[in-house]
Amino acid sequence: MPDSVWSPVKYLDYGEPRARPFFDLLARVEAPRPRRVVDLGCGPGNLTRTLPRRWPEATIEAIDNSPEMVVAARRSGVDAEVADIVEWEPAPDTDVVVCNAVLQWIPGHRELLSRWARRLPSGAWLAVQLPGNFGSPSHTLARRVTRDPRWAPRLQDAPLLEDDAVADPLDYAELFADLGCQVDAWETTYIQRLTGDDAVLEWVSGTALRPVKAALPEGEWLAFREQLAPLLAEAYPSRGDGTTWLPFRRVFVVARVP
């Protein structure tokens, strides 16, 4: 995962719409009394805190590679640890693994999913959700601006995610089926109703544009935003009531290990 700084406050600006896919994902996990539930990429812990309500007897394990996010999670009462999920290994009693909106940052994450499935105990559940909107205007326009001669030299080491960062649900279904897992894979496009000025720009600033913000001094980051803002405003016009529709595709897969 990239090591640029996450902002828990910025990420939580849209806490409710970012949370909905998490609960839609967990609704397909049918583990009745898991011994250990692991949240890989727990972020600020706002969603991890809900896991004990679902599974009150389980040990909850939470990790994230961002120290800022882990500090925020601990402040909210989650016993989170700083760690790289690429290096994570499941404990023998791990019955549920949740990985929500994280794996898009990891090239080759399909191999990582295969490794986890092979090392989890029989009957364990692996639930993954990934954004699948990297071909949408919110991302294609941002990539276009990064390639402008003004920005390209500064951002060559901070590339934005491309269309192939996330596979289709069928690809993940095939991956887990080939491992003998029971698998449920699907996609959902949420129509997010955003408010405020430059609403889509503010949304992507907390996630997709994070590598750009980390690579640029504050003044240049603001200039980058000013260049991108009118392009996004044209692609996502504001309604008369001041709100903006953002179609957001998500990819889900839930697998049960044989």
Q: How far apart are CA 2 and CA 107, in angstroms?
A: 11
The Cβ of residue 54 has, within 10 Å, a number of other Cβ atoms equal to 14
Strand-by-strand arrangement of the 243-256 sheet: 80-82, 59-64, 36-40, 94-100, 125-131, 243-256, 182-195
For residue 173, the one-letter residue type is A
Beta bridge partners of 244: 194, 238
Q: How far is CA 220 from the centre of its chain?
A: 26
With contact defined as beta carbons under 8 Å apart, do 113 and 143 qualify?
no
The predicted pLDDT at position 146 comes to 97
End-to-end C-alpha distance for the chain, whole angstroms: 29
For residue 125, the one-letter residue type is W
Residue located via tokens 């953002």: 246
The predicted pLDDT at position 11 comes to 43
For residue 192, give both structure tokens. Answer: 């997010």
The predicted pLDDT at position 167 comes to 97
What's the predicted TM-score (pTM) here?
0.91
The predicted pLDDT at position 140 comes to 97
Q: How far apart are CA 212 and CA 151, in angstroms?
A: 10
The predicted pLDDT at position 162 comes to 93
The predicted pLDDT at position 158 comes to 83
- DSSP of the chain: ---SPP-HHHHGGGHHHHHHHHHHHHTT---SS-SEEEEET-TTSTTGGGHHHH-TTSEEEEEES-HHHHHHHHHTT--EEE--GGG----TTEEEEEEES-GGGSTTHHHHHHHHHHHSPTT-EEEEEEE--TTSHHHHHHHHHHTSTTTHHHHTTSPPP-GGGS--HHHHHHHHHHTT-EEEEEEEEEEEEEESTTHHHHHHHTTTTHHHHHHS-HHHHHHHHHHHHHHHHHHSPBPTTSEEEEEEEEEEEEEE--
Q: How far apart are CA 104 and CA 29, in angstroms?
A: 21
Residues of the chain with pLDDT under 50: 1-13
The predicted pLDDT at position 15 comes to 56
For residue 154, give both structure tokens. Answer: 């500064």
